[in-house]
Structures are given as C-alpha cells and as structure tokens.
Chains A and B, each alone.
Chain A
Amino acid sequence: MEKIVSVKEPTMHTQVPVNIGTSVFGLRYKDGIMLAADTAVSYGSMKKSKKSTRMASLSDEAAIACSGEMADFQELQKILKEKREGDEIENDGATFLKPRDYFNYPSRLNYQRRMKMDPLWNGSIVGGVRKDTGETFLGMVDLYGTKVEGNFLITGLGAHYCQVLMQNAWRPDLSEEEARRLIEDCMRVMFYRDKKATDEIQITKITQAGGVEVEKSYRIGSEWKLEFFKNMTNEFWRPIRIYQ
C-alpha cells in the first residue's frame, strides 16, 4: 500500500496586527517625563474605537504608552501588573522594580517572542521618574525587542513625520506648557497625515513630586479651511489628470 505522507503547513502565528493604535510620543521635560497617544483604535481603515486608553501606569513611578496591536498591549499590561503585585507583596523593605526594570523586561519579552516567530506586535514607550533619586528614564521597545533610549521618542508613523519637529523644538528645560504644546503640534501633524490618527489625545505626566498622572483625554483643534485643502477637490484635479 502506498504510504500516505501528510503534508502539513508550517505553524503560523500572527502575520499582521488586527486592532491597531497608531504612533505614541514620549519626551523629557523640566519636571519629568511626558507620554502621549491619541485615543483611536483602528481595524483596517475603520476606527473601531475613538475612546480607548493606550497608556497605563505601571507603578507609582513608571508608565507605559503603546502603539500596535491592542490585544498584545492588554496582555503586556496583565503581565506587568502581575509582576508589580508580586514585587509589592514581597514586603522586603523596598520595591525593587524601578522604571528601568519595567523597560528592560518588555524588551526581553518581545525578543523572546519574536525569536519564537510569534511576536507581541507593539511599539511601546516606557517612562519613569525615580521617587528616591529623581532620576528620569525614557525608553522605547519595538516588536523585535530593540531597546532605544533618548530624550524624545516616537513610535510608528510619527517617527517619520515628527522626528525633525521634535529635534528642532526639544530642549532639556522645556516647561510643562511648552512640552504639552510641542506634543499637541506633533499630534496635529499626525492627525492631518495619518489616517489612523484622531484629534483626541491623552497625556501622562510622571514627576518626582506627583508620581504618575494619567490625564483625561481631550481634543486638539484642527484647521481644514485652508486654500490648499479647498483646491484638493475633484474639480481642481480632474482637468490636470485627464488633459495633462
């Protein structure tokens, strides 16, 4: 009898993310760290939710903001929460997980998962200010497990559009107001150009005195009544397209 050889497809894991949040921002300013993200979650081109929180506090001195697959973000949050609780219930005189630990751990996790060809599809920014020393920390982890630290960090499409904007405007002594304005500018740029962005944004501040404050989301204004946009009509373009 002929031997039946079963031909099996190779095991396949996540090939594309499904529910996607777009770019997140993080920057150092005078008092500490500011993280920002908009509140949209897209399913393809559709906005599945326009009121989602894409950031979370990890302890009283660290927070994370996440772009990419939102299910993976929720999983990561669960893992980190378990870690924090495990750390806190030890009661050994100090909580040992510092902002840097909350940064390094996801990076190792992401690297392990990507080596299994089953990545957590996230670009995350972790920020923190240590309560005891006031030392600030800002780092970015991508789905490959790469670690990047810097004074201003952007994930996703924003890294292409807003890098220069940030580079020109960032100073180490930015006041809170200036930092907020800079982030709003970046977010507005993204709203004009990124189909997955919205004009509703959320900011998390981390300071030595105040700890982690996840603020309520709010709308940044946008201006569409420009000549440039008026001209972007079919009436304007049709003759050019056809009779060029």
Chain B
Amino acid sequence: MLSVNYSLSCVTFDPKGKILQVEYAKEAVKQGSTSLGLKSNDFVVLVSLKKSPHDLASHQEKVFDIDDHMGIAIAGLTADARYLCKFMRSECLNYWYTHDSHHPTERLIGKIAKKAQIKTFHPAKRPFGVGLLVGSVDETGTHLFESCPSGNYYEYVAMAIGARSQSAKTYLEKNFEQFTTLSWQELVKHGLKALKASAQETELSEHNVSVGIVGKGLNFRLLNNDELRASIAEISDAMDVSE
C-alpha cells in the first residue's frame, strides 16, 4: 500500500493531514486490556483487567500509585507506562519538596502531554504507545483525566480505554449521571460491572482485576485481595438476580 511511505516516521504528514505514526500509537492503546475510571464528588476509582502472558506467570500490574493523592491506570505498552509513571512520581515528589503541597492534577497532565507531543515531533522518536487514566484529588476537587499518545488530554466523569472498551463505555454512559454522590464502595461496584461488560468470557477474579481508590481524606491505595474478592462476589450475585 502506498500509505507505507507516509507511515514510517512521525515527521511526515499524509495527504489528509494526519500523522500515521500517531494513529498507530492509538491502535497500540486499543491492544491493551481494558482500564476504566469513574468519579463522584468525593472519590475516584480506577479499575483494570490484568493479563498474564503464561499460566505460570503472574498478572501484569496495570494500576500504579503515583502519590498520596493520585494514581494511574494504563492500557497499551506497559514499558512506556512505567516510564511515564516514574516521571510522574518524581514530579510529584519534587513539587512536594519545593511547595510543601500536592502537585495540581491538570498541571501534571500538561507535563505528560508536553512529553508526548515531543515524541510526535522528532524523526528519531516514536509516540508513546500507551493511554493513561489519571485519578486524583486536589484543591479543585476530584479529577479523572485521560492522556493520549497524541499529546491530547481530556477530563471525564467516567471513561474506559483499551481492548473492547466500547462495552464498558456503554455501561458507563448509561450510568454516569448518578455517580456524583456515590461512596467509593458504590463506585467500585459500578466499575466492576463496567469491566465485566468488557471482559466477556474472562471470569473476573481477585487475580486478574486491580482496583485503585482515592478520595478526599483518603490516600490512594489498591484494594487488597479480600476486598476484591468480596466486591466481585457482590456484583456477580447482583447480576445473577437481575438475569
């Protein structure tokens, strides 16, 4: 195909004005398993479906702790995500050291976006192959941001990214208006239900699901196995009844 000639480098526009390398990077995000996030006025919850490369291997972690007030869920190339994760952690620490307060969320997302843009602007670089969902609490309330390989970022009430995320998105679109006043336990339930919609045949268990929560007066943490097992059991019971 002719478009091969336009697609090899991110310093070439194709005749439609698109940068194909960036488009392909977005595809890489869609290859990763589903991650989703949702927020109420006081809490943000991040939920991920983890994959294991082999029966004998552990599952690849997809929700990361950035700071007391912030965490991320990823979809796409995990190696790129770890690099960005490390960057975000050190930025948060630096901000804490110089200002004695938490890093404002949107500014940090702006820094990531700037990094991502540079990767689309240089002949010897490739765009990041990862999408991030950043959940955080700061002076202006709770936030859920999505950051793209293109360097764009958007703020959402609820969002899903990764493979087959459309089903999760549909679930969230149906329900996001009632999220505003929910507790984090309720949010986790909605998150798991949305994830179940995307997971299809895959059975949710405490081994292949990660849930991160953060809120006002609640530091970011991952739910432990017991909590996960309980929550998953709860939603599968509820679903059985509704069916």
A contacts B: CB pair < 8 Å = yes
Which residues from chain A sit less than 8 Å from chain B, CB to CB?
90, 92-94, 96-98, 100-101, 103-105, 108
Selected contact of B100 from candidates A92, A94, A96, A100, CB within 8 Å? A100
B54 interface contact, C-beta 8 A: no
Closest chain-A Cβ to B242's Cβ sits at a distance in Å of 39
Pair B99/A101 contact, Cβ less than 8 Å: yes
Closest chain-B Cβ to A103's Cβ sits at a distance in Å of 8
Q: Which of A93, A97, A100 neighbours the largest number of chain B CB atoms within 10 Å of its CB?
A: A93
Closest chain-B Cβ to A222's Cβ sits at a distance in Å of 41
- Which 5 residue pairs of A and B lie closest in terms of their CB atoms, listed nearest first? A104-B100, A101-B99, A92-B106, A96-B104, A94-B140
Chain B residue with Cβ nearest A102 = B99
Q: How distant is the Cα of A92 from the Cα of B145 in the complex, in angstroms?
A: 13
Chain B residue with Cβ nearest A94 = B140
Pair B106/A105 contact, Cβ less than 8 Å: no
Closest chain-B Cβ to A150's Cβ sits at a distance in Å of 17
Report chain B residues within 8 Å CB of A104.
98-101
Given contacts A100-B101, A101-B100, A104-B101, 4 further A-B contacts (CB under 8 A): A92-B107, A93-B140, A94-B139, A98-B101
Closest chain-B Cβ to A76's Cβ sits at a distance in Å of 14
Closest chain-B Cβ to A34's Cβ sits at a distance in Å of 23
23 inter-chain pairs at a CB distance below 8 angstroms, sorted by A residue, are: A90-B106, A90-B107, A92-B104, A92-B106, A92-B107, A92-B140, A93-B140, A94-B140, A96-B101, A96-B107, A96-B138, A96-B139, A97-B99, A98-B101, A100-B99, A101-B99, A101-B101, A103-B100, A104-B99, A104-B101, A105-B98, A105-B99, A108-B97
Chain A residue with Cβ nearest B101 = A101
Report chain A residues within 8 Å CB of B97.
108
Which residues from chain B sit less than 8 Å from chain A, CB to CB?
97-101, 104, 106-107, 110, 138-140
Q: How distant is the Cα of A92 from the Cα of B104 in the complex, in angstroms?
A: 9
Q: How distant is the Cα of A105 from the Cα of B107 in the complex, in angstroms?
A: 17
Closest chain-A Cβ to B198's Cβ sits at a distance in Å of 31
Q: Which of B99, B107, B110 neighbours the largest number of chain A CB atoms within 10 Å of its CB?
A: B99
Q: How distant is the Cα of A108 from the Cα of B101 in the complex, in angstroms?
A: 13
Closest chain-B Cβ to A128's Cβ sits at a distance in Å of 13
Report chain B residues within 8 Å CB of A103.
100
Q: How distant is the Cα of A98 from the Cα of B138 in the complex, in angstroms?
A: 13
Report chain A residues within 8 Å CB of B101.
96, 98, 100-101, 104
Closest chain-A Cβ to B114's Cβ sits at a distance in Å of 13
Chain B residue with Cβ nearest A97 = B99
Q: How distant is the Cα of A101 from the Cα of B95 in the complex, in angstroms?
A: 10
Q: How distant is the Cα of A97 from the Cα of B110 in the complex, in angstroms?
A: 17
Q: Which of A92, A103, A105 neighbours the largest number of chain B CB atoms within 10 Å of its CB?
A: A92
Chain B residue with Cβ nearest A147 = B100
Closest chain-A Cβ to B101's Cβ sits at a distance in Å of 6
Report chain B residues within 8 Å CB of A92.
104, 106-107, 140
Chain B residue with Cβ nearest A103 = B100
Chain B residue with Cβ nearest A93 = B140
Closest chain-B Cβ to A149's Cβ sits at a distance in Å of 11
Report chain A residues within 8 Å CB of B104.
92, 94, 96
Closest chain-B Cβ to A187's Cβ sits at a distance in Å of 31
Closest chain-A Cβ to B161's Cβ sits at a distance in Å of 23
Q: How distant is the Cα of A81 from the Cα of B100 in the complex, in angstroms?
A: 19
Report chain A residues within 8 Å CB of B138.
96
Report chain A residues within 8 Å CB of B107.
90, 92, 96
Q: How distant is the Cα of A96 from the Cα of B107 in the complex, in angstroms?
A: 10
Q: How distant is the Cα of A103 from the Cα of B98 in the complex, in angstroms?
A: 10
Pair B98/A108 contact, Cβ less than 8 Å: yes
Closest chain-B Cβ to A220's Cβ sits at a distance in Å of 36
Closest chain-A Cβ to B57's Cβ sits at a distance in Å of 41
Q: How distant is the Cα of A92 from the Cα of B106 in the complex, in angstroms?
A: 7
Q: How distant is the Cα of A105 from the Cα of B101 in the complex, in angstroms?
A: 11
Report chain B residues within 8 Å CB of A96.
101, 104, 107, 138-139
Q: How distant is the Cα of A100 from the Cα of B98 in the complex, in angstroms?
A: 11
Closest chain-B Cβ to A96's Cβ sits at a distance in Å of 5
Closest chain-B Cβ to A30's Cβ sits at a distance in Å of 26
